[in-house]
Amino acid sequence: MSDTKPYEGKLALVTGASKGIGAATAKALAATGAHVVLTARNVKELESVEDEIHALGGSSTIAPLDLVEPDAVTRLAGAISGRWDALDIMVLSAAYLPSLSPVTQIDAKQFNQALMTNVVATQALLASFDPLLKRAEGARIIGLTSSVGAGPRAFWSAYGSTKSAFDNLLESYAQEVAKLADIRVAILDPGATRTDMRARAYPGEDPATVKPPEDVANRIVDLLSAGFETGHRERVEAA
């Protein structure tokens, strides 16, 4: 871990932290001194990320859960509020990608899973952690979106529509709390990144041709360090 730890004593929550961008972001935030709460469904993968963080001198806690389970987010918020007084950073990285298909052939079960993970769970996270965010001195939220949320694309409607709703929830929340607390919200489009989700969407693509998740994680940390106005939106391009 770096000797420079600007977020020493701060608490961060990262969803989807078991792999990909979420895992890379959790490790990058831990390197800044933040204590990172990692959430995802896969316990072994979370433990692996935590082991890496601890091996490098960082601090973290794993919270295995499925965000779409009834009351899962409420229980998580209750557990965190029982140990900490405030939440300084929240990175919303968890997402579910349904199979690509025409609108007329969307798989209903997968679409429902995407809606629950990408939309309903996001609202639950904002609602449940709102009190902890308001208690922080300058809480920051970064949500990871997709270009298909802002610009419809053939065969991507099941995922794109949920990301459009995700963006709307975050931007609406940002406006609602703007005059109530020092909470700033940014939406980050990772762009083409070497993740399992990307591999499922583009099975013939050479992973080496797209940037690693660490590039996105580093941009998230840089954005937090530099500061941003609420409503900030950007796409992370390859270096």
**Mean pLDDT value across the chain:** 96
116-152 tens-digit pLDDT: 999 999 999 999 999 999 999 999 999 999 999 999 9
Contact 139, 86 (CB under 8 A): yes
Q: How far apart are CA 190 and CA 144, in angstroms?
A: 7
Assign domain 11-234 to its CATH architecture.
Answer: 3-Layer(aba) Sandwich (3.40)
Q: What is the pTM of this model?
A: 0.96
pLDDT of residue 99 exceeding 50: yes
Q: How far apart are CA 64 and CA 74, in angstroms?
A: 14
Q: Which residues contact 39 (CB under 8 A, 6 or more apart)?
A: 13, 14, 15, 16, 17, 46, 62, 63, 64, 65, 67, 76, 94
Find the mean pLDDT for residues 26-31: 97
158-208 tens-digit pLDDT: 999 999 999 999 999 999 999 999 999 999 999 999 999 999 999 999 999
Backbone angles phi, psi at 182, to 5 degrees: -85, 70
Where are the domains positioned within the chain? 11-234
> Taking each helix axis from N to C terminus, what angle separates 108-115 and 157-177, rounded to the nearest 10 degrees?
20
